[in-house]
Structure 1
């Protein structure tokens, strides 16, 4: 007996679109109910900090549009951006939310298949299908009936459950690593604020205050230009769907982290100036548009070549200062950087010279920066390791997904993510010993 049976999405799940909320009634209060719409939906991510929101008093009246844990949401306008499908799923930690029109919610008819459904939508075959049926020039779009017509081979229930368990284990470990990274970042920021904002650094009791500068003796006020070796915007990419290297854009920079899920590829042969190829501990600053301008994140993942587009500024610390200190310093003054934007509301730009010469920092002594490096280095080394782990996990997940969905490999022989990482660590350890 075959372990697969042809079916279509309309038989396997329901496909419903959202409500036509009136934009003039949108709320900007993040305590209200979040609205999931095309503009805040990305590839495997919902940008919960972007809004909009809707008055909480209407939530119960809109039960049909309430999203629940494990719902799969799919953009129906511009469903593919940069070769990636705009879809995500609702997690238990997400806030309550409502579905907006032109976004589809997919729910398996058997609740036990809901996690498996996520990977049907995540599969390369579904992406290819959506690419072929998308119509429209100004606004490429798909419809509910289009989604329902997608035909795929459905594994038997036992295999569906196993596939869902394995692939979701990869996603869960990736999410856990991101949460650990967030906590480590917060730990570093708390210590930074204690030492360099509240001035409660080790030995502060024995250090006097300079009467002219008002700073601890040995500290000095400097512009960003004085503590950096390079400040410049990125490149105009030559976008490709494959065989390229990542270009970080403004959507990638959020909550002091760089998320490659929103990046696109530029052609491998694209000649990028050496200075504009990212280096470890470069600081990236969003530099265009209200709502995104001023966001800061330090770049740790340099396993491969990467750059940024022209809407992002690269800030490279000089050898005279701690890169960890400078990264935390710019994160701490994000609101100030936001206010440096000039121009019309939707056309605001952060000028390189404004960033370089208007931003001033209280630079501590070399000795204190060295102490901060000693504290921060293990934290950010762990962050780098977790980012590298996530890269391996994503690569393995994306290789497994199409093979599992088509039966190319036996689900019972697939490694869980922890076993994969343990095997890779052992290989690296053995190679180190041989070397």
Structure 2
């Protein structure tokens, strides 16, 4: 069955008479592999020209540029004014295909391989709507589609629940940072005198420091393609930060050049396109030119992590460049911040460490859930595993 026979591709776009003056914009950079960092509220008049695709509930967003990066999203209950970039194809199911089954079909690695093989262009390989429509898919009866979708959705629901818990934990830690190091309501603050500094009034005994004063900094550099290879032969390689908050997922790219390394636990900071995304290295890895690795020399790593998250709440708040912003090592070294006394820093680390440990444990659980789901997905989507006779609650009423 051809995919185009059972779906619509880009069924709606903004036209004259569009009723909303504000839109919730989904940009390419905000969507990962089944995840989204959020929408941007912008005026329709000030929206980029690529803000065109109207998005509805149960649509699938599929990035058409560099399909090998696997950027896609199943849309749940979007605002009525949600608009996606033309860098996405919006896939909408007809009555012949279950929307979640459609989503899992296009997230299957075999579908990604098909798109990658048919992409056109050297610098920005991309696929068009006709290429997507021509894809051959397995299409069992609707009742079987719903069973397959229910099995795979159970894993995604658990993952999403863990992500919500991670977000709450991260907000708790970040709020504590703001209380202590922004609002100066740290333990014993009432007994500390406020004094003048280049950054305004600060607690006595605190200092204005630069990142280079207290942190070791490694700037990444992308090796030539011949140094990339398969898992087990060298270290994981990452070019840039794609996920906020989550420890890096397992990479598909490995590198034998070991000159620009991040150690396990290093802060990973994106230095270009965009500037200011932050993550934590789960293991030793090679970092590309889109990343820097940061380690606090006194061991106050979680302080440094939340400091950078606070300073870069908005992406691209520093840096130069015409096409996209970027920062140099000198720019990074010159970042100014307030440094407290060692006792305050140590108490902050002791409180935050158990919270971050929970985040790490939930991240590991999600990694295991994804691994199991990804083993099942191709077998279910291809029909290799037959679920037609299984009693599975699909949430659908029998016809």
SS in 1 for 2:323: helix
Residue of structure 1 aligned with 2:258, choices 252, 260, 272: 272
Partner of 2:89: 104
Partner of 2:302: 324
Partner of 2:396: none
Partner of 1:224: 211
Give the aligned CA root-mean-square deviation in angstroms: 3.8
Residue of structure 2 aligned with 1:368, choices 322, 332, 344: 344
SS in 1 for 2:293: strand
1:60-89 deviation line (CA, Å, top 9, x unaligned): xx9x9532111012234x352xx3333322
Measured at CA, do residues 95 and 202 of structure 1 come closer, stay the same or move farther in structure 2, by a change above 3 Å? farther
Are 1:70 and 2:48 an aligned pair?
no
Q: Distance in 2 between matches of 1:231 and 1:170?
A: 38
Whether contact under 8 Å (2:249, 2:367) holds in the other structure is: no
Are 1:381 and 2:357 an aligned pair?
yes
Q: Which deviates more, 333-342 or 368-377?
A: 333-342
Q: Distance in 2 between matches of 1:36 and 1:277?
A: 31
Residue of structure 1 aligned with 2:282, choices 301, 315, 319: 301
| Equivalences for residues 191-210 of structure 1 within 5 A | 191-209=176-194
Residue of structure 1 aligned with 2:112, choices 107, 127, 131: 127
Partner of 2:367: 391
Whether contact under 8 Å (1:237, 1:266) holds in the other structure is: no
Which segments of 5 or more consecutive residues in structure 1 lack a partner in the other structure? 1-6, 23-28, 57-61, 417-435
Q: Distance in 2 between matches of 1:49 and 1:249?
A: 24
1:344-372 deviation line (CA, Å, top 9, x unaligned): 4336432223322x323322222222221
Q: Distance in 2 between matches of 1:237 and 1:21?
A: 45
Partner of 1:312: 291
1:29-48 deviation line (CA, Å, top 9, x unaligned): 9x821455666655434564
Partner of 2:397: none
TM-score between the two structures when normalised by the length of structure 1: 0.74
SS in 1 for 2:253: strand
TM-score between the two structures when normalised by the length of structure 2: 0.80
Q: Distance in 2 between matches of 1:379 and 1:87?
A: 30
Measured at CA, do residues 349 and 152 of structure 1 come closer, stay the same or move farther in structure 2, by a change above 3 Å? closer
Partner of 2:237: 247
Q: Distance in 2 between matches of 1:66 and 1:211?
A: 52
Q: Distance in 1 between matches of 2:73 and 2:80?
A: 14
